[in-house]
């Protein structure tokens, strides 16, 4: 049954149209990720495209299957929540945190779990406590620890025809084939005390997750988001400054043992996490002061995990932990309402 077209359109205040909508913000983030995605394809070839597609497909499938239920509104069409693009973005972000040679069914599962357990089970978009993409990744890392930490070496212009043999493993089966593996810059630093040259880190010619290789392109996307006002600049700035100064302080004690500030900032998933995941408006504080607390907290946790923990990389856990603290941060950093002074309570 079609709605009849109204003869007269009546508006009530506010008459100023709000330009920013959820689909638009999501589209902006996706555009901002395109350069880094392109770099992933350039360095890892067809494998990158397949892994990214699989994780996006998983996320979208979950959204389509359960999305209308979670939306709760009666008569809501199945797949309606797909239209805001948030499922697509979650899938893309998750895909960018995955190793290039990951079996495709795992990437699909990660997207599926990220959306169901990370978003829909909480009540849908805007209700979730944790970043869905990172939750999907945390699930994958805990479930398939070996596959999730097997990295293939980056090779610029691999060509679109090359395929990692492990990618096409049957669902629920191991890849079985041991391909050529490489260590990530952080892994090299932690276990072999070997620093990767900064230029390689900035341009992305290193082993690692699909989206964490090219630092400069990630920064470029962040700049775009900041210009479009889609991003609370305090969070990434807080994270990056904390990480840099923490590692500068460590360098004062023993420069050889601890990573240099720029290495810390450009290596691993820090830029990807700081710019695109920690700034997720749903799971980060809304108050300006809270954003600073959140950023500094993530930065500290990242460095603590990297330097003193058992794992080489800690961006994911750092952001997830601070996600959990977000409601508390928001509560304690509420700005005072104008006119309510001391003692008015």
Partner 1 sequence: MKKNASYEEFVKGIWRDNPVFAQVLGMCPMLAVTNSAVNAIAMGMATMFVLVGSSFLVSTFRRVIPKQVRISCFIIVIATFVTIADYTLLALVPRVHKELGAFIPLIVANCLILGRQEAFASRYPTKLAVMDALGMACGFLVALFSLGAVREILGDGALFGIRLFGESFEPWVIMILPPGGFLTLGLILLFFNWFTQKKNDFLADVAGSEGRGG
Partner 2 sequence: MTTGGRNQRAPGSLRLVATLAVAGLISGVAIIGIYESTLPTITANKARELRAAVFEVLPGVSRMQALVYRDGGLVAVPEPGEDEAVVYGGYDERSAFVGYAMPGAGPGFQDTIALLYGYRPDERLVVGMEILESRETPGLGDKIYKDAEFVAEFGALSVEPEIVAVRKGTGTAPNEVDAITGATISANAVVRIINETHAAWAGRLPPPGGEPAFVEPGPEGGTGR
Which residues are at the interface with partner 2 (CB under 8 A)? 145-146, 149, 191, 310
Residues in the chain: 345
Judged by beta carbon, residue 36 or residue 120, the one nearer partner 1 is 120
Phi, psi of 3 (to 5 degrees): -70, 140
Instruction: Provide, rounded to whole angstroms, the least separation between the CB of residue 141 and partner 1.
Output: 9
Other CB atoms within 10 Å distance of the CB of residue 86: 26
Q: How many residues bind partner 1 (CB under 8 A)?
A: 14
The smaller minimum CB distance to partner 2, of residues 94 and 148, is found at 148
Least Cβ distance, residue 202 to partner 1 (angstroms): 35
Interface residue with partner 1 among 142, 252, 337, 342 (CB under 8 A) is: 142
Question: Of these partners, partner 1, partner 2, none, which one is at the site of residue 310 (CB under 5 to 8 Å by kind)?
Answer: partner 2
Q: What is the dihedral of CA 136, 208, 293, 122, to 10 degrees?
A: -10
* Interacting span for partner 1 (CB under 8 A) from 84-92, 129-137, 140-148, 225-233: 140-148
Contacts of 339 (CB under 8 A, 6+ apart): none
Residue 92 Cβ vs partner 2, minimum distance, rounded to whole Å: 28
With CB under 5 to 8 Å by kind, the binding choice for 117 among partner 1, partner 2, none is partner 1
Which of partner 1, partner 2, none interacts with 218 (beta carbon under 5 to 8 A by kind)? none
CA–CA separation, 136 and 94 (whole Å)? 7
What count of Cα atoms within 13 Å lies in the side-chain half-sphere of residue 201? 21
Residue 169 near partner 1 by CB under 8 A: yes
Least separation in angstroms between residue 196's CB and partner 1 is 29
Residue of 16, 73, 173, 342 interacting with partner 1 (CB under 8 A): 173
User: Which of partner 2, partner 1, none sits in contact with 176, Cβ below 5 to 8 A by type?
Assistant: partner 1
Q: DSSP class of residue 286? A: S
CA distance 262 to 215: 11
Is 143 a binder of partner 1 (CB under 8 A)?
yes
Q: What angle do CA 292, 213, 162 make, to 5 degrees?
A: 150
Q: Which two tokens stand for residue 122?
A: 């909480």
Instruction: Name residues contacting partner 1, limited to 100-139 (CB under 8 A).
Output: 103, 106, 117, 139
The reply on whether position 147 binds partner 1 by CB under 8 A is yes
CA proximity to 276, closest of 15, 1, 90: 90
Q: 100 near 210, Cβ under 8 Å?
A: yes
Rounded distance between C-alpha atoms, residue 44 and residue 46, angstroms: 7
Residue ranges binding partner 1 (CB under 8 A): 103, 106, 117, 139, 142-145, 147, 169, 172-174, 176
């Amino acid at each position: 049954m079609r709605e009849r077209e109204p003869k007269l359109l009546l508006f009530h205040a506010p008459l100023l149209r709000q330009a920013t909508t959820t689909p638009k913000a999501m589209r902006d983030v996706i555009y901002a990720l395109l350069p880094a995605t392109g770099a992933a394809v350039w360095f890892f070839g067809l494998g990158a495209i397949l892994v990214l597609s699989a994780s996006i497909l998983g996320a979208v499938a979950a959204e389509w299957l359960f999305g209308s239920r979670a939306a709760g509104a009666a008569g809501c069409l199945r797949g309606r929540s797909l239209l805001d693009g948030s499922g697509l973005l979650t899938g893309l972000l998750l895909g960018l945190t995955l190793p290039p040679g990951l079996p495709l069914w795992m990437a699909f599962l990660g997207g599926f779990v990220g959306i169901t357990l990370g978003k829909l089970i909480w009540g849908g978009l805007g209700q979730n406590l944790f970043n869905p993409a990172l939750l999907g990744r945390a699930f994958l890392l805990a479930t398939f620890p070996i596959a999730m930490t097997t990295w293939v070496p980056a090779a610029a212009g691999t060509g679109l025809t090359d395929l990692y043999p492990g990618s096409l493993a049957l669902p629920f089966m191991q890849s079985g084939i041991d391909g050529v593996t490489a260590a990530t810059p952080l892994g090299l630093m932690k276990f072999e005390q070997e620093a990767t040259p900064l230029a390689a880190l900035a341009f992305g010619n290193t082993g690692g997750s699909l989206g964490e290789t090219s630092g400069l392109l990630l920064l470029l996307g962040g700049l775009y988001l900041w210009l479009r006002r889609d991003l609370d600049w305090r969070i990434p700035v807080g994270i990056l400054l904390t990480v840099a100064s923490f590692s500068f302080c460590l360098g004062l004690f023993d420069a050889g043992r601890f990573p240099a500030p720029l290495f810390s900032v450009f290596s691993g998933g820090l830029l990807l996490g700081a710019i695109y995941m920690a700034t997720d408006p749903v799971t980060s504080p809304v108050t300006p002061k809270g954003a600073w607390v959140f950023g500094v907290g993530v930065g500290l946790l990242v460095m603590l995990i990297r330097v003193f923990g058992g794992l080489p990389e800690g961006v994911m856990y750092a952001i997830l932990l601070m996600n959990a603290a977000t409601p508390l941060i928001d509560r304690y950093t509420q700005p005072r309402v104008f006119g309510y002074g001391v003692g008015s309570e």
